[in-house]
Structure formats: C-alpha cells, structure tokens
Structure 1
Amino acid sequence: MADLSRVRNIGISAHIDSGKTTLTERMLYYCGRIHKIRDVKGGDGGATMDHMELERERGITITSAATRVAWKNDDLKIPEHVVNIIDTPGHVDFTVEVERSLRVLDGAILVLCSVGGVQSQSLTVDRQMKRYGVPRIAFINKMDRTGANPDKVMQAMRDKLKANAVPLQIPIGAESNFKGIVDLIRMEAVYCSGDEGEVIERKEIPEELKAKAEAARQEMLESLSQFDDGLMEALLEEKEVPEADIHRIIRSATLAQQITPVLMGSAFKNKNVQQALDAVTRYLPCPTDVEVFANDNSKNAQPDEHGNPPRVKLTNDSKDPMVAMAFKTVVEAFGQLTYMRIYQGKIQKGQSYINARTGNSVRFGRLVRMHANDREDIDVGEAGDIIAVVGVDCASGDTFLGGGVEYSLENIFVADPVIRLSIEPAKRDDADKLGKALERFRREDPTFRVLTDEETNQTLIAGMGQLHLDVYVERIRREYKCETVIGEPRVSYKERPTKSLEFNHKRAKQSGGSGQYGHVVGKMEPLPEDSEHTFEFVNAITGGRIPREYIPACEQGFRDQMGKGPLGEYEVVGVKIILEDGSYHDVDSSDMAFKLCAQEAMRESILPKCGMALLEPIMKLEIETPEEFQGGVTGHISSKRGIVTSSEVNDGVCVILAEVPLAEMFDYANEIRSMTQGKGTFTMEFLCYRQAPKNIQEEVLERRRKEKAARK
C-alpha cells in the first residue's frame, strides 16, 4: 500500500447531465487508466464507468462505479498519488448510491454546470456531503456552452448552498471562445492542446486579462486570509505571498470545510481536467486527515449517560485490528461482490473476519480491485483502501472486524420509499425468476423494498420514484429474461397523531394455568414534524412499578403497532411514548404479557383517540422550459396543489422550482411534453411528508375503503 499521505478516496457527484461521468472519463485517460476516451452518449459503447448496458443506452449513471488511478505532475512537483474514484448517479431516484459512497469517502468533487448552476440534485448532494462532513472542491463544467456564467454559478453556491466559494481560476474566453484558464496562484495562463487536450501549456496572461486577474487574485487571497493570520499580515504589509503558503492555507481551510475551492473547465472539450486532478492531490484529505469513530460494543465498555456505547477513534494503521465497512453489494452469477472501505488494519485473502451485525465468522476467499466492471485480483487490502470481496454474504452497512475487537460503524442513512406498485410474472412459469431477481435487487439497494399486500397477497415493489422502479423492471426483463405485469403506481401515505393523550391500559387474561397480566400507564405525545425519528420510547418508570426486565417487551409492543394506523392501515409515524407507571403480577406477568398489553394499548387506547391525520409525500420539482411556456407550466402546477418556490429566466430558458404532492405527478412526463411542445424537461425528488388537506384525506380513505370492500 502507498504512503497514506498520498492516497485520496474521492467521489464525483452532481446534478444529472452536469458532465461528471465525462469528467471521470477524462481523468481515467490522463492518468493512463484507459487509452481511448469514450463519450457518455457516443456511438462507441458509452463511458467506461457506465458499465451496465442500461446505463450506456440511457446515457445516465445508475449505480456507482469504482476505479483506482495514479496521478503525478512533475512540472508542479506533485509526487505520485493513488486516487480511488467513485462515479455516482446524478438522478435523484438513485440517491442512495451517492449516500453510501459519500459515507466511506474522504473528499469529493462537486460538478456544476456553467449554465444550470446549482440545480435540485446539487442541493441534495450538498446536503449529503454535509451529513458525512466530506470536504469538497467544485468544478464548474461545460464552460464552452452558450450562456456559461461561472460568476453566477459561484453566487448560487453562496446563496443556495451557503458555501464559501473561492475561485482559484478565471476563464480565458467564454462559451465557444473558451480557450483555457488563468491560474490565480501561479499567475499564469494555462491552455490544453493536442488531440485529446493532453499537452499543458503555461504562458503569460493575455494583456487584456491582466488587470482582471490581479483583482481576482487579490480577492482570493483576502478570502483565504480569514483563516490564516500570517497571510493577513502579509497582505497588510503588501508582502509577496509564497505559492507553497497559498496551497497550504487552501488545503487547511478545505479540510476544515471553511471554503470550497472552485475550478472551471470543459471536460467534453478536454480543457482543464488535469488541473482538477492537481487540486484533488493538493487540497482534498488523505485517510489520516479524517477522524473516523466506531462504537465499542465490548462487555467492559462503559456506556455514556444516554446508554450509548463509547466511541473509539480508529487509527488508519495497518498493524492494528481490522475494521472495515461493506458499503455496497452486487449479486452476480458467481456470488455476491461486496465493496469495502478499510479504516484500520488489513484484509488478507483467505483469512476470516467477524460480521459485527450477525456475529458470524466469514472467510474472505477472493479480494479484487475494481475498475468499473473489470477486476484485478489482489492478496491484501490495507487501511485507507477501497477494495471488493467476492463471495461474502452480507448487507450494505455491515461492519467487519478482525483481531478480537467488538466495534461497529455508524450505518448509512436510507430514505423511505415513496412510491410502490404491484408486480407479477407475465407467465406463471417465470415466478421463480422474478423471485430471484427481486431478492437480488432488494439486497443490493436499501431503498428498493419488496412487500406483500396482506389483503390481495400481491407482491409490491417500492422505491424512490418512477424511474427507480422502471429501471428495475427493465433489468428483470433483460437480466432474467422475465416479462412482468405491472400495476398502477401507488402513493405511500402515512398517518401521524396530532394531539397528546394519557393512557391507562390493563390486560388480565386467565384461561387455566398461568395467566397473562400486564398494566401500562403513561402518555403519548406527537413528535415534532421535523424529527428524524418515527417512534421514540421513554422509560419514566420509578420504584419498580414494572420490573426492568419487562421494559424492552413494553417498548416492542408499542413499536409493533406502528405498521398499521386506524385511518387506512398506513404506517404510523411521529409517536413518542412515555411509560410512567403500571403494575405486574408475580406469577402471571411475563415478557409476552407486557408485549401484548402494550400492543392492545396502542391499538385500542392510543391511536384511535389521538386525532390521526393522513400524511402524503411532497416532491421537489425542477422544470426547464422555454420562456414562452412559463405561464402555462406554473398555472398547471397550481392546479396540482403545487407551490412554485422560485422561477428565473436565463437566455430564454425558464427554470421553475416547485413543491407538488406525488399523487398529482404520475403522468407528468406526458403532460409537460404536451404543454411545451416536447421542449420542457423536469426532475423530481422526494422532499418531505406533509398533512394532506381534509378533502384529499377523505378521498384517499374512501378509495381505500372501496378497495377493501371489493376484495371481500
């Protein structure tokens, strides 16, 4: 393994069609990993990192792909660095791929379109990066496009992302005249020439740009001086600032997430991609720059005041006990392929390691290093590395351990699905194929759920959006040769209480032999609407009114009833149970008695009496349409119970942001095409759940009642 200070684990993330896969492709080429550039939507088979047939056909990234490259720049005295790159999807329906990649990466490149700027998925990716504390640099791509405006993009970064955008470059020319950039640190003009932009030419800044470059450099240094007293002094005394000091301050402020350095170029036109690689090695963190903590679950570990296990800082030392996270799984014909990030210790081929979730010992028989869909066999992976293991049965988010430690790593955030539909094989003989396909995809993708409708016994699939489910239906057809019959999409509604209440419920059953006695007293309070939790349980029992050993059974009983609400048997969210009192019987009380008592209390005394309201999923909608259709599109949004949150026109193109209930959006692709003569496009992502208006609640519940009656 290379010196860890020269290792970078990075992700490349962006809004769909911002050019991040094209940027990755150019990086692979300039690093010597591939010897021919292939374009995302070209006729040469699609981008290297888009290895799935469906990805190459659609020209979008559906799954994250990993590769490892080496980069050095002798001219700038940048020694060779190992860079593990993960290219992630830009479409919102595949956001879990971004989520689990960022969970295990140290740094990221946020790619922004020079025309579109900060778009809806840019906001989502920004939120994910902040959730995991991932430092990033920004690359403003497509500088050759008509309407390219890097200043506007950087202002949008400051306004919408609250990012301290610090440009390290200014463009030479714009749109079709974009020729290169001015490096504000070295104060040189940089051009990329040659057939594939592989020749870097550093020249004097054009005369007409010198004043602008001087002003931009001064602004950059003043921005950086907020984070370094020495630089502040040098500026006040008008001293020359050494180049090495500028790089050091940029790196320090980037790692502290105080700034986002901004570069610009055109990946498609092979301009300024090498400078992005230089920035990755100079400014993004190495594994030892990032603090990673694990929970210590050993018996001797002392929990904190909230009862949580203590946290242990991992070392990044290959000599220490091994700790790794499985962050992505892919089921293949010859077994499961599991991507792993090693945080401490090393993984050796043929050795066995403990799955912290199951407690099982698992032998790692084959280790590989991935390059898109190709693999290279290796014997060992060390701390700081990303590798894949073949044939290990585990789930995304599992922690693997060696050396006798009992740690666990925080799992990956997974959003709940918002749409579902029924699925069945077109031919009865294909039921086994469909079952295998659904089981495989369920294991690979935590946001893809497979359910059974208890009333109809139909199989349901649930996901993050229409495209998400469409892709899986298409993969079932292609990869399993199984045609399917798909039902109408259904919205995943939820129910939540709107008022607090007190409860006092006793269960006393006697039917010969030992009986069942449980008694629970307390109150239920609705959780705040912005709470990340769907259920909270507080044990406020004092004086042993209910013995401590029965409390977990009580909690489980309350929790068990969250699956079916009293309105339409939808999932219940937003419940806080405070258990304050109760009683027990020396002979007739048991775990089962208290669990059943709590279930009854929820079912009979709490949920029917707390003013339950129906919640519906709200989607964040971004529409691009020619300006002439703006009025019709915004009016149509209003007719769908939507709210337009912003609208701006740039070069005749109107970008509309809105919030609309998912229930109103199922045929929107056809509707927007019809309204805009086929010129309008949209993207949509889940925003939140909100209480449905009274009339909508009544309509949904009446439809639900009729469906149930028709099945009897």
Structure 2
Amino acid sequence: MTNQTTTREDLRNVAIVAHVDHGKTTLVNAMLTQTGAFGDHKDVGDRVMDSGELEKEKGITILAKNTTVFYSGPASNGEEVTINVIDTPGHADFGGEVERGLSMVDGVVLLVDSSEGPLPQTRFVLRKALEAKKPVILVVNKVDRPNARIDGVVSDSMDLLLGLAEDVSEDVPDLDLDAVLNVPVVYASGKAGVASTEQPADGELPESQDLEPLFATIMEHIPAPTYTAGEVLQAHVTNLDYSSFLGRLALLRVRNGTLNRNQTVAWSSENGIKNVKITELLETKGLERVPAESARPGEIVAVAGIEEIMIGDTLTDPNDPKPLPQITIDEPSISMTVGINTSPLAGKVKGAKVTARQVKDRLERELIGNVSLKVLPTDRPDTWQVQGRGELALAILVEQMRREGFELTIGKPQVVTKEIDGVL
C-alpha cells in the first residue's frame, strides 16, 4: 500500500510580514481579541506580540515568534481551526529569523501601510517568501488614515511582487506567476479591528463589523498543511528558546508522524544520530505555552529535554530515522568588536558585569537562538569579533547587553569580506 498525502483542514500556518510601524502587532492583537484568546478579564497590552523590552519600546520585531488563534467563524465550516501566526521581523538584518519563520508556514500575509506602501525592507522578506514559493495575501492596513492612498499602495505592492517574481524566476523555475498576479487584497484597520475585501474610500473605515473577511481569506488562500499518512515521525527544529524551569526549548514543526511527551526519539544533528527522551512538550494557546501530550503533522510546538539541540536538527523515528535537510542561512555581512570596558571608570556602577567570562558567556548564550550571528575570538582574550547581517542586528544586541548591566567597549562596524576562488 502506498502512503497517501493527507491534508489537515483544521490547521493553518501563516507568517505576517510588515515594515516597522505598519501595524502588524496591532492587527494580531485584534485577531486574538476577536477569537476570544484573552477571555473576558485579561488586560490586553498594546503590543502583545512584542515580547522583549526593546521590541515593545521601539515597535520592531526582532525574534520570529508564534501565537495561536482558534477560529470558529463562518469560513471554518463548523469546526474550530487552529491558525498559527508567525510574527517575522520586517528587516533584512534579522534575515536568519525571517528564513526560519518562513520554513514554519504555508503562506504569507504581506501587511502594508495605506499611505507609505511597501518599503525597501519589505522587499527582502517578500523575496524570501517567493523563493520559498509561499502564497501571499496583501493586507492594506490603516485605511482610515487621513493621508491614505489605497489605489497607489495596491499598485505599488503589485509592481513589487511582479518585479520580485521576475527576479527569482531563474532560481525558482516553477514559480506560479498567475498566483502572483492574482494576489487577494484585504483592506483593514487593525486598530478598529475591521477588514473587508471591498475597497473603501481613502481615509474611510471598511464597511465591516470585524476581521471575518481576513480570516475567510486566510482560510481560502493559505494552504492547509499536508503530510504523508503512515510516514515515520519527522519534526524540524526551526528556533530555540530558553526556560528557567525546563532549560533549552526547541521550537519545531511536525512534518510527519506524531510526537508524544515522554517519547524516545532519534535526534539527528550535524554530529550524527542519537536517541533522546522528550521530557516536556508545549503547545501555544494565544500567547502562552501550555503542556501538551502529543503533536500531530503541521503543528508547531516546543520540546524540552535535549540540552544541545540546534536549529536545523531533526527529531525522527529511532527505528527508521529519516532526517530533514538542514536550514541554510545567509552569511553575515557586518562585523564589530565587542570587549570589556577597560576605562578607569569600569565597574563603578553597582552590579555591573565587567569580566571577560561574563561577556563571553552572554555572547555564547545569544548564539543559541540567533543563527545569523557569529562570534569569533580575536588576539585579545577580553575582546570578540561579532558578525551579523547588518548594523541594526548588532546594535540591538549591544543595547540589550547594556540594559542587562554589561559594560562594553564597542569597535566600529566593518564590512565582512570573503575570498571566493582567490578573489576578494
């Protein structure tokens, strides 16, 4: 009997891609609120998806993270549908996060401001989505802005999509250009919590009571996850996190088979295959991780119990291990030196972290979940060369460390050069 391809109609995995301040977090908040994720009593913060202090303050997404919406509206055909929403960064400097976020999902919502339209950084993320052949939904947000120019923004977005499709068509010969040409458009105001497929007048709210048209568009245009019935367990690690109670957490998407708590699985990494036990399995409900007994194909969960697990590793069947391909990430392009504070005023602030060991441990901890970063030794034992995808990514790391009490000496950013076939 041949193994059949089966579809999980009760599940959708979608990434939301947007430039800084185009209203992504506000829209996700409205999706969560309208599907009852917060109950009646919970106080909803303005930026529930921005989990780090810096993300809340600056309104930028740094880490790819997921939340879960349980949708039971008219387009769900009577059964509750789990919509996993992956919030990807909208900036090329966090490209490692973008690529991993896209590997978890089956489609992308491109969110653009009704006045500003698509901006240069949106281009980077969208290109990655087209290269991965992910279907796109265009959401024009903040349509009630006084300076909205909805027609122009839709036109600019379509031009961008077509231009990128032509760019990547050589690398992706089977790209569906018709699908790119016929991208569905939803007009929304995340703040007001309304959306429509009918274009409103510039500066006006859509004629709608809620976000149902957006949910219906996601249900229709984002493919449900498929898997091979009867295939052995395959789960791809796409991100890492840390819990003070459980230690290192691996975020993964189950591709085939079922993953159970307390199950012994084969852990496939660059160092070979080893049997390990899943001590804890966590699923996301709203914004919170809660214990689960099992995870089926298409589901995105976190597991604990494997201290040295890395991004790109596979959990599979110990009796018939079938590893998935490693995730490839673009090389770093900018580097700078990070060292301890060597000035006479070092350590004057109570509780300051000033030793080389503390800085080294913190940089190594950053590498756990940040695969687009590299930390290299220098000829000085108290200084390291940190390489990343851009100045913003490096500046965010330094800012986070300073807020944690580290006193640092930072070098000037330099371009990372590489020799290919003897040419620099």
Q: Does TM, normalized by the shorter one, top 0.5?
A: yes
- The alignment partner of 2:95 has SS state of helix
Amino acid at match of 2:219: T
Aligned ranges 1:402-413 → 2 under 5 Å? 402-413=317-328
**More helix per residue:** 1
Amino acid at match of 1:265: A
Cα distance change on mapping 1:36 and 1:286 into 2, 3 Å: same
Contact 2:91 2:125 survives alignment (8 Å): no
Work out the percentage of aligned pairs sharing the same amino acid.
30
Cα distance change on mapping 1:34 and 1:91 into 2, 3 Å: farther
Amino acid at match of 1:572: E
Task: Please name the residue that 1:485 is paired with.
Answer: 409
Match of 1:471 among 382, 390, 396: 396
Unaligned runs of 5+ in 2: 1-6, 166-175, 196-210, 342-346, 348-352
- The alignment partner of 1:260 has SS state of coil
Deviation at 1:13, TM superposition (A): 0.8
Contact 1:15 1:91 survives alignment (8 Å): yes
Match of 1:269 among 173, 180, 192: 192
Cα distance change on mapping 1:374 and 1:254 into 2, 3 Å: farther
Task: Please name the residue that 1:342 is paired with.
Answer: 254
Matched, 1:325 2:325: no
- The alignment partner of 2:213 has SS state of helix
RMSD after superposition: 2.9
Aligned ranges 1:102-181 → 2 under 5 Å? 102-162=102-162
Matched, 1:423 2:346: no
Contact 1:336 1:390 survives alignment (8 Å): yes
Task: Please name the residue that 1:259 is paired with.
Answer: 182
Contact 2:12 2:223 survives alignment (8 Å): yes
Q: Distance in 2 between matches of 1:462 and 1:31?
A: 41
Deviation at 1:151, TM superposition (A): 1.7
Deviations 1:242-285 (A, max 9, x none): xxxxxxxxxxx999656311111111122213311121112210
Deviation at 1:158, TM superposition (A): 2.8
Amino acid at match of 1:261: P
Contact 2:162 2:180 survives alignment (8 Å): no
Cα distance change on mapping 1:80 and 1:130 into 2, 3 Å: same
Task: Please name the residue that 1:5 is paired with.
Answer: 9
Matched, 1:388 2:302: yes
Deviation at 1:45, TM superposition (A): 5.0
Deviation at 1:446, TM superposition (A): 1.2
Cα distance change on mapping 1:163 and 1:387 into 2, 3 Å: farther
Task: Please name the residue that 1:84 is paired with.
Answer: 84
Deviation at 1:76, TM superposition (A): 8.6
Contact 2:337 2:412 survives alignment (8 Å): yes
Deviation at 1:96, TM superposition (A): 1.9
Matched, 1:24 2:28: yes
Contact 1:331 1:440 survives alignment (8 Å): no
Contact 2:335 2:387 survives alignment (8 Å): yes
Deviation at 1:341, TM superposition (A): 0.2
Cα distance change on mapping 1:38 and 1:432 into 2, 3 Å: farther
Amino acid at match of 1:19: G
Amino acid at match of 1:365: T
- The alignment partner of 1:115 has SS state of coil
Amino acid at match of 2:315: F
Deviations 1:153-179 (A, max 9, x none): 2222332220899xxxxxxxxxxxxxx
Deviation at 1:110, TM superposition (A): 0.9
Q: Distance in 2 between matches of 1:488 and 1:469?
A: 11
Task: Please name the residue that 2:386 is paired with.
Answer: 461
Match of 2:377 among 452, 456, 459: 452
Task: Please name the residue that 2:266 is paired with.
Answer: 354
**Structure 1 range deviating more: 453-462 or 341-350:** 453-462
Cα distance change on mapping 1:76 and 1:287 into 2, 3 Å: closer
Deviation at 1:78, TM superposition (A): 5.8
Deviations 1:51-86 (A, max 9, x none): 112211222211122122211224995643111111
Contact 1:66 1:372 survives alignment (8 Å): no
Deviation at 1:457, TM superposition (A): 7.7
Amino acid at match of 1:34: F
Cα distance change on mapping 1:50 and 1:316 into 2, 3 Å: farther
Amino acid at match of 2:371: P
Deviation at 1:439, TM superposition (A): 0.8
Deviations 1:107-151 (A, max 9, x none): 121111111212112211211111211112111111011332222
Deviant stretches of 4+, over 6 Å: 36-39
Contact 1:29 1:37 survives alignment (8 Å): no
Amino acid at match of 2:264: S
Cα distance change on mapping 1:406 and 1:113 into 2, 3 Å: same
Match of 1:281 among 219, 224, 233: 219
Unaligned runs of 5+ in 1: 166-252, 289-314, 495-570, 576-606, 615-712
Task: Please name the residue that 1:197 is paired with.
Answer: none
Cα distance change on mapping 1:60 and 1:457 into 2, 3 Å: closer
Q: Distance in 1 between matches of 2:388 and 2:222?
A: 34
Q: Tell me the matched-pair count.
A: 380
Task: Please name the residue that 2:173 is paired with.
Answer: none
- The alignment partner of 1:161 has SS state of helix
Contact 2:32 2:286 survives alignment (8 Å): no
Contact 2:275 2:318 survives alignment (8 Å): no
Contact 1:355 1:401 survives alignment (8 Å): yes
Amino acid at match of 2:407: E
- The alignment partner of 2:364 has SS state of helix
Deviations 1:27-65 (A, max 9, x none): 1111111248999xxxx8541111112211222211122
Deviations 1:524-548 (A, max 9, x none): xxxxxxxxxxxxxxxxxxxxxxxxx
Matched, 1:70 2:70: yes
Contact 2:17 2:110 survives alignment (8 Å): yes
Task: Please name the residue that 2:367 is paired with.
Answer: 442
Deviation at 1:364, TM superposition (A): 0.9
Contact 1:12 1:20 survives alignment (8 Å): yes
* Bigger-Rg structure (1/2): 1
Aligned ranges 1:489-504 → 2 under 5 Å? 489-492=413-416, 494=417
Cα distance change on mapping 1:81 and 1:255 into 2, 3 Å: farther
- The alignment partner of 1:13 has SS state of strand
Q: Distance in 2 between matches of 1:338 and 1:371?
A: 17
Matched, 1:572 2:404: no
